[in-house]
Amino acid sequence: MKRLLLVLILIAVAISGCTEKGPSVADKSAEELKTLSIAAAENLTSYSLKSSLTQMIKHNSIGTNESIGQTTTYTENDETIQSVDLSGYKSKKSYSIKTIAERPGYPENSTTSQIEVYQVGNSTYFKDGSGNWTHLKDLTSAGEIWEKGNFNQVKAQSAMINNSQMENAGSETIDGQETYKMKIVTGIADYNNLYDIAFDLVARPTNYMAMPSINKTELNETSKIEKIVWISKDSYLPVKYQSSVSFEMKPELIAALDLNTGQMMKLNQSIRLGEISVSIETDDLYYDFDKPTDIAPPEQALFAPVVTPTQIQTQAAVQA
């Protein structure tokens, strides 16, 4: 029995020696990760991306006695799947958008749209919700368009990281990859962007024909901003990014567009819009770095009529 126990102990020691990891590599600093991430994104040849966005807006209206205190909720869910061949000047993107409007006493109103886009060189093939294809042909060469980096979202993500202050939040395995989990510190730029988002949410329903007023101090005090990025320990590319933003505001409309002069004219009395609360969450997952991609527009897209920017400008001028 003692001999058997000794044998088991020796086996356990042997197994332990086989699986024991060598000296761990020191973690990279935030500044080192910034530099490494930018360099890695510059040399990227291809990637894929899955992203989602959920936006919820709750509007507590103030109006007639019947509508006072009623809350209308607008929800938008966006899902995107994208593959990009940076070296071959090709990309494919498909995304769906679902919006839901809920108001007490009314049936739920929802709409769903699906869009498909191929970019091949300087040609954009666009499929709308009705299944119709449009072929937009840019007069700029493919090289000039792609070399600007407009289709390298990984590079854009790395640039955002490079311009931010980060804090190490530990390590985590994402899709089998060991990563640095980094928290991005909220800065002045984030609060400026927050104000732009709030302004746009109020001005957009009026087609920007009215000017809102938003108390920036109150907006910042109610806001919560969190951004986290996961950076691969092997490639130093960002493999995942999450953000969540929420805030509350009580905007007013203080001016309206004078159609005769094209100028904003101050209202004699501002129009209160009630309390609006907003939450926005995004989730991006990057994968298949430097892997071969098969991107080819369907035959229906290739036979779509070609439209150039010059034609669009001419048509717009005629309609004006």
Residues 11-26 pLDDT 10s:
333 333 333 333 334 5
- Lowest-confidence range among 40-49, 125-134, 203-212, 311-320? 311-320
The answer on pLDDT for 64 being more than 70 is no
Q: In this predicted structure, what is the pLDDT of residue 6?
A: 34
Could you report the per-residue pLDDT of 284-306, keeping only the tens digit for each? Answer: 999 999 999 999 999 999 999 89
Mean pLDDT of 82-111: 94
The answer on pLDDT for 10 being more than 80 is no
Backbone phi and psi for residue 258, each to the nearest 5 degrees, phi listed first: -85, 110
CA distances from 215 to 6, 154, 222, 265 (A): 75, 35, 11, 20
Q: In this predicted structure, what is the pLDDT of residue 88?
A: 95
Q: In this predicted structure, what is the pLDDT of residue 241?
A: 98
Could you report the per-residue pLDDT of 49-61, keeping only the tens digit for each? Answer: 999 999 999 998 7
Q: In this predicted structure, what is the pLDDT of residue 125?
A: 96
Q: In this predicted structure, what is the pLDDT of residue 65?
A: 44
- pTM for the whole thing? 0.82
The answer on pLDDT for 244 being more than 60 is yes
The answer on pLDDT for 270 being more than 50 is yes
Backbone phi and psi for residue 3, each to the nearest 5 degrees, phi listed first: -65, -40
27 secondary structure, DSSP code: P
Q: In this predicted structure, what is the pLDDT of residue 149?
A: 85
- Lowest-confidence range among 30-39, 294-303, 306-315? 306-315
Strands 166-174 vs 252-258: parallel, antiparallel or unpaired: unpaired
String of DSSP letters for 37-71: HHHHHHT--EEEEEEEEEEEEEEE--SSTTTTT-E
